[in-house]
Structure 1
Amino acid sequence: MAEGKRYIGIDGGGTKTVCILGDDEGVIMAESRGESSSVKSRPWEDVQQVLLTLISDVLEQSGTGPSRLGGIFLGLAGSDRSEDRKRIKDWLQAELPKGVAITVHNDAVTALAAGTWGKKGIVLISGTGSIAYGFDPATADFVRVGGWGYLLGDEGSGFDLGRKALVAVMRAFDGRGEPTALTKLILDRWSLQHPGQLINTMYGQDNVRTAIADGSKLVMQAASEGDPIAVSLVEVAIRELEELVVTVSTSMGIQLSLASGDPRKRTENRIPLVLTGGLFSDRGFEQRFMQTRAIRSGLFEVRLLERPPVIGAYLLALQEQGIELTADRQQRIAGFVFR
């Protein structure tokens, strides 16, 4: 391990990208933020620009020359397939000095690491997209379920919920569906007079995926006020997220059962389940999820992610270079105050 090296962690989701730079002792020295860097929902040239801008920014903030970089770990939405990782890694290797260790993985990995400090666990992300990821260091195997993008999956995500809300509004407008409070909330959100105007508004968005995902907040509001359509949409999303967790658990050899005694007494060997993403920031949504059969089984130690997922990317960059996550390093990392 070379003395004085600096390490970069990048967490890129469907809505935003966060980048931090720190040293080998867990001291974070710079932070920068940008737009989405999801390779499955943005043009490749846009992703390149976002990443290069953020890397340059944290290098400049910290007074770090590129030659001092020891490693960079990128957790990017839609980037856990080998062809995606290779494309990004090859490109970055040409942009950075020779010898910089570059690791690319899905953003679920960084969120899981941030929640468990690299220990065994499962992470469930419900943000713009959705995915569940499990990791067991004893086998070094990852189990991934979902996360297939807004065209092929992302059930229970902000985009999925927002899109279904728009569909419900249009069905009500046609007379094919029941009236819903979502109509007024959505029209007010985009300052429109009637649902027919949503066509030009939504298709004209610079990032239509992000704009639609933002509508999930309106679903939460309508559900909290008792709108039947919104409540139904939320319940479906909860069931789909529960299914992700159950499937990952089964693949990891964790058997869910409600018939093995009092769940409150089943505290040994519980596996951490880290919840993160914009939908779980809604208290009502979180509480509904906590009432699912999977969670009531008592087999999970549920943790709302308290540290930004980018922390996981940085600590994984350290681990990739054999740097031990001592208690002192963890304390320094956890003590960083984000903007």
Structure 2
Amino acid sequence: MIVVGVDAGGTSTRALAWDDTVRVVVGVGRSGPGNPNSSGHDLARLNVLRAALDAAGGRADEVTRLAVTMAGGSATGGALDGLAAAAAAAGLGCPIDIEPDLLGAWFSGCSEEQGVVLIAGTGAVAATIVGGRINRLVDGAGWLLGDDGAGFWIGRRAVHDVLAAIDGRGPDTALTDLVLARTPQLASHRDRPGDPRRVALIEHCYGLRPVQLAGFAPLVVQSVGDPVADRILADAADLIESTARAALVGVHESSPVVLAGSVAGLDSVIRDRLVSLLGDRARLASDGVVGATMVALRAAGRPADEATRVAMGVPPERVQGQP
């Protein structure tokens, strides 16, 4: 029997087909953005289906389960408009499950059924896992109301502190030159009072989608040693640690904690703080498409143990000392 897992992301979609009879990877597929929240249902459906069919190759009629993991999967009502009908028309007439990317991240990092998964990338969210299902969420409230300490939070804080430095409201910082180097200069500042750097930066940032401020976050890591950058990272670490601690309440102390996302994996005080908190309980999420395929196996009622996860191409090492 063959199952297919699809990791539907905001910029790209990847799929993996697994033959559970002979326990080998049948194929992998890749396509464009597959998240309906950012790309719309039509484009997302097209790319999810394209990646899945690419992975299955000429064996689409043998696929018995398809699982799709995506950010906000639970918010879509467990469906991607028109996917089932389009899949059936293309030869994929199997049951389809749509799950949050948190579950895919969890099963990409371990095969156990109890613990905590923490994603800290552009946003930040943690979840407790009970019986292989998401039981409770912490944060993940989005850039306006939450995602504390994540990429958007760090990037916005960087721009805020640069503006404060330009105004004289805050200390000088090495971030100023780095942030301004990413800021297109205005053709004319005529009739615009104030420092032209300030005017250009404000206008540029208000022209972005708010979440795009996360693009400034790597500059903060690049500026380690600068007191302002160090303070931003320390404050972000406090917030992410707080999210992790809240998620750990009531969870057995031996249960694993899977860490995912660019911020959680940063070689910085954030990662150091998480490792100090978690010790050898920490696991790094590997490839989200492996997690999605593990979800598909579980939905099909097939074993999805550690040996299976490793056979899909995941190194068996645990995270010890540091991710």
1:85 equivalent to 2:60? Answer no
**2:220 corresponds to:** 219
With over 3 angstroms needed to count, the CA separation of the structure-2 counterparts of 1:105 and 1:291, relative to structure 1, is: closer
With over 3 angstroms needed to count, the CA separation of the structure-2 counterparts of 1:164 and 1:320, relative to structure 1, is: same
Please give the root-mean-square deviation of Cα atoms over the aligned residues, in Å: 2.8
What displacement does 1:328 show? 5.2
Q: Deviations over 1:119-168 (max 9, x none)?
A: 32211111111111111228x56221111111221111111111111111
Match for 1:173 among 166, 178, 187? 166
What amino acid sits opposite 2:236 in the alignment?
A
Q: Deviations over 1:289-320 (max 9, x none)?
A: 2475x44xx6x611223x21221111111110
1:316 equivalent to 2:295? Answer yes
Q: Distance in 2 between matches of 1:190 and 1:135?
A: 42
1:143 equivalent to 2:140? Answer no
1:115 equivalent to 2:109? Answer yes
**1:128 corresponds to:** 122
Residues 15 and 128, structure 1, Cα contact 8 Å, conserved in 2: no
Q: Which secondary structure does the structure 1 equivalent of 2:172 belong to?
A: coil
What displacement does 1:117 show? 1.4
**2:201 corresponds to:** 198
What amino acid sits opposite 2:122 in the alignment?
T
Q: Distance in 1 between matches of 2:232 and 2:13?
A: 28
TM-score calculated relative to the size of structure 2:
0.81
Q: Which secondary structure does the structure 2 equivalent of 1:281 belong to?
A: coil
- Between Structure 1 and Structure 2, how many residues are aligned? 300
Percent identical = 27
Residues 152 and 214, structure 2, Cα contact 8 Å, conserved in 1: yes
1:331 equivalent to 2:315? Answer no
Q: Distance in 1 between matches of 2:246 and 2:51?
A: 40
**2:320 corresponds to:** none
What displacement does 1:253 show? 4.6
Residues 285-300 of structure 1: pairs in structure 2 closer than 5 A: 285-290=269-274, 294-295=277-278
Q: Which secondary structure does the structure 1 equivalent of 2:256 belong to?
A: strand
Q: Deviations over 1:189-209 (max 9, x none)?
A: 34548242123433444x652
Q: Deviations over 1:56-107 (max 9, x none)?
A: 14413642365443222222112323xx234x34532232218422222221
Match for 2:47 among 46, 50, 53? 53
Residues 11 and 110, structure 1, Cα contact 8 Å, conserved in 2: no
Residues 187 and 195, structure 1, Cα contact 8 Å, conserved in 2: no
Residues 158 and 229, structure 2, Cα contact 8 Å, conserved in 1: yes
Q: Distance in 2 between matches of 1:243 and 1:38?
A: 30
1:94 equivalent to 2:92? Answer no
Q: Which secondary structure does the structure 2 equivalent of 1:198 belong to?
A: helix
Q: Which secondary structure does the structure 1 equivalent of 2:269 belong to?
A: helix
With over 3 angstroms needed to count, the CA separation of the structure-2 counterparts of 1:311 and 1:59, relative to structure 1, is: same
Match for 2:281 among 301, 305, 324? 301
Q: Which secondary structure does the structure 2 equivalent of 1:186 belong to?
A: helix
TM-score calculated relative to the size of structure 1:
0.77
Q: Which runs of 5+ in 1 are unaligned?
A: 255-268
